[in-house]
Amino acid sequence: MNEHTAPSNGPRDGDVATWDNGALIRVRDLTRVYHQGTLEVHALRGVNLDVGEGEFTALSGPSGSGKTTLLNIIGVLDHPTSGSVKVDGVDVSTMNRGEAADFRLATAGFIFQAYNLVPVLTAYENAEFTLMLKGVSRSERRDRVVPLLERVGLAGMMDRKPHELSGGQQQRVAIVRALATEPKIILADEPTANLDSETSAELLDLMLELNRDLNTTFLFSTHDPVVIERARRVLKLLDGRVADSVGQAA
Amino acid sequence: MTWRMAWRNLWRHRTRTLIMTSAVAFSYALFLVSMGMGDNGHAQMLEAAAEGAGGDVLVHADGYWDNRSSDLVIRNAQTVLNAVESAAGVEVAIPRVLVNGLVSSAAGNRPVMLQGIVPEREIALQDYAEDLEAGEFLTESTRDDPLILGATIVEKLKLELGDRVVLTASDPEGEVTRALFHLTGIVETGLPETDEGLALTTLDAAQTAVAMDGMLTQIGVIVADGATPDSVAAAIHAAADVQGNGLEVMTWREAIPEMVAFIEIDDAFLYIYIVVIFAVVAFAIANTFLMAVMERVREFGLLNALGLRGGGVARLLLAETVLMTLLALAVGFTLGYSGHLAMDHWGIPVGGWGVEDMEISGANFADLVMRSTVNPGKWIMATLAVALITIGSALYPAYKASSLAPSEAMRFYE
- For the segment A199-226, what is each residue's pLDDT rounded down to a tens digit? 788 888 888 888 888 888 999 998 888 8
- B264/B266 Cα distance (integer angstroms): 5
Residue of A nearest to B409 (CA): A77
* Chain A touched by B405 (CB under 8 Å): yes
With beta carbons less than 8 A apart as the criterion, state whether A46 and A212 touch. no
Count H helices and E strands in chain A, helices first: 7, 10
Q: What is the pLDDT of residue B351?
A: 61
Provide the mean pLDDT of chain A: 84
Residue of B nearest to A78 (CA): B407
**Which of A43, A72, A110 is opposite residue B306, by nearest beta carbon?**
A110
Coil vs helix vs strand at B165 = strand
Q: b/e for B15-38, b at 16 or more Cβ within 10 A?
A: ebbeebbebbbbbbbbbbbbbbbb
Residue of A nearest to B298 (CA): A116
Q: Do B414 and A68 touch (CB under 8 A)?
A: yes
Q: What is the DSSP string of B349-380?
A: EGGGGTTTT-EETTEE-TT-EE-----HHHHH
Q: B279: Cβ–Cβ under 8 A, 6 or more apart, which residues?
A: none
Q: A193: Cβ–Cβ under 8 A, 6 or more apart, which residues?
A: A113, A222, A224
Q: Do A78 and B407 touch (CB under 8 A)?
A: yes
Judged against a pLDDT cut of 80, whether residue A23 lies above it is answered with: yes
Chain A partners within 8 Å of B412 (Cβ): 68, 72, 77-78, 189
**Which of B307, B406, B407 is opposite residue A133, by nearest beta carbon?**
B307
Q: What is the pLDDT of residue B361?
A: 55
A residues 70-99 lying closer than 8 A (beta carbon) to B: 72, 75, 77-78, 97-98
**Which of B299, B410, B413 is opposite residue A69, by nearest beta carbon?**
B413
Give the gap in angstroms from C-alpha A98 to the nearest C-alpha of chain B: 6
**Which of A72, A98, A116 is opposite residue B407, by nearest beta carbon?**
A72
- A169/A154 Cα distance (integer angstroms): 7
Which CA distances in Å does A19 have to A91, A206, B220?
Answer: 17, 28, 103
Q: Do B414 and A98 touch (CB under 8 A)?
A: no
Question: Which amino acid is located at A117 in the chain?
Answer: L
**Arithmetic mean of pLDDT, A133-138:** 89
Q: Do A97 and B310 touch (CB under 8 A)?
A: yes
Q: What is the pLDDT of residue B335?
A: 95
* Chain A touched by B5 (CB under 8 Å): yes
Q: What is the pLDDT of residue A17?
A: 36
- For the segment A81-124, what is each residue's pLDDT rounded down to a tens digit? 999 999 988 899 888 888 888 898 888 988 888 778 888 889 99
A residues 126-155 lying closer than 8 A (beta carbon) to B: 129-130, 132-134
DSSP A173: H
**Arithmetic mean of pLDDT, A178-192:** 88
Q: What is the pLDDT of residue A204?
A: 86
Q: Do A102 and B305 touch (CB under 8 A)?
A: no
Q: A156: Cβ–Cβ under 8 A, 6 or more apart, which residues?
A: none
- A191/A114 Cα distance (integer angstroms): 8
* Chain B touched by A240 (CB under 8 Å): no
Q: Do A120 and B9 touch (CB under 8 A)?
A: yes
- A172/A207 Cα distance (integer angstroms): 10
- Testing the interface with B: which of A35, A36, A77 to mutate, by most B Cβ within 10 A? A77
Residue B334 φ/ψ region, left for φ over 0, alpha for ψ in the -120 to 50 degree band, beta for the rest: alpha
pLDDT tens, chain B, 414 aa long: 788 888 888 888 788 889 888 888 988 898 888 888 888 888 887 777 777 788 999 999 999 988 888 889 998 889 999 999 999 999 999 999 999 999 998 888 899 999 999 989 988 888 888 888 888 888 777 778 899 999 999 999 999 988 999 999 988 888 899 999 999 999 987 777 788 888 999 999 999 999 999 899 999 999 998 889 999 999 998 887 777 888 899 998 888 888 788 888 887 887 788 788 778 877 777 777 777 777 788 888 888 888 888 888 889 889 998 999 999 999 999 999 999 999 888 888 766 565 555 555 555 555 677 888 888 988 898 899 888 888 888 888 888 888 877 777 665 333
Chain A partners within 8 Å of B298 (Cβ): 116
Model confidence at A195, in pLDDT bands (50, 70, 90)?
confident
With beta carbons less than 8 A apart as the criterion, state whether B184 and B143 touch. yes
**Which of B306, B405, B410 is opposite residue A130, by nearest beta carbon?**
B306
Residue of B nearest to A106 (CA): B307
Decide: pTM greater than 0.80: no
Q: B387: Cβ–Cβ under 8 A, 6 or more apart, which residues?
A: B325, B329
Q: Do B412 and A66 touch (CB under 8 A)?
A: no
- B261/B269 Cα distance (integer angstroms): 12
Q: Do A132 and B1 touch (CB under 8 A)?
A: yes
* Chain A touched by B305 (CB under 8 Å): yes
**Which of A78, A105, A189 is opposite residue B307, by nearest beta carbon?**
A105
How far is residue B206 CA from its own chain's centroid?
Answer: 33
- B75/A46 Cα distance (integer angstroms): 109
With beta carbons less than 8 A apart as the criterion, state whether B7 and B312 touch. no
Q: B300: Cβ–Cβ under 8 A, 6 or more apart, which residues?
A: B293, B313, B401, B404, B409
With beta carbons less than 8 A apart as the criterion, state whether A205 and A226 touch. no
